Amino acid sequence: MKSQPDVTRLLIELQGGRREAFQSLVDLMYDDLRLIARRHLRFQGNMITLHTSGLIHEAYLKLADRTLLSWEDRGHFLAVYTKVMRNILIDMARSRLALKRGGDRVKVTLDEHHNKIEAQADELLAIDQALEKLALIDERLANIVECRFFAGLNEVETGLALGVSDRTVRRDWIKARTILHGLLDETRVEPDSGN
């Protein structure tokens, strides 16, 4: 089990400009990152062909150049890594749907499995849109959803990552889920056909 002092020491070294500390931090936190990546990928179903370690490494490549970010603590590190993983999956879903909607491919009859994968991509993008709308309403609520749902942080860890009490996290988590459900219901309503 990793010790909090080791994580804190590496974060301090990273803040001090020691770029190698980022790799050491990822190595130390790898089990936590695997759990987060699994959560993301489990939610994606068969839509994404990326594996757990592949998602972690894709996120690593995106974060490696931004190692001088102001890393506050373990929770903040996991929250940022989670957000990057989610963005990678959103980009993959957008690419898949762009091809679905034409791209440069010839359309063919799709089988049932392919339709299910496309529906998962649509659902992922709907969740992303709802989360973006939630961030416009209240950014902290959106951050709590990312920490709790995507990163799997508990209330205390989320509070530490966001600089609020666990009681505030508990209250805001309930509020965020309620608002998100409403926003998701709005995106699922079919638009009028001009009548």
* Structure confidence by residue, pLDDT tens digits, 149-175: 877 788 998 888 888 999 999 999 999
Residue 110 lies in a domain: yes
Instruction: Please tell me what DSSP assigns to residue 45.
Output: T
Determine the pLDDT at residue 2.
57
Q: Domain range spanning residue 177?
A: 4-188
* Predicted TM-score of the model (pTM): 0.65
CA atoms within 13 A on the CB side of 184: 14
> Is residue 54 one of the residues assigned to a domain?
yes
In a domain, 10, yes or no: yes
CA distance 141 to 42: 23
Q: Does residue 147 surpass a pLDDT of 90? A: no
Quote the mean pLDDT of the chain: 79
* Residue 165 in tokens: 């009490």
The answer as to whether 139 is a domain residue is: yes
Question: Does residue 24 form part of some domain?
Answer: yes
Rg, C-alpha atoms of the chain: 19
Please give the pLDDT value at position 14. 83
Residue 194 domain-assigned (yes or no) = no
Please state the domain count of the chain: 1
At how many degrees (to 10) do helices 30-44 and 20-28 cross? 70
Say if 193 falls within a structural domain: no
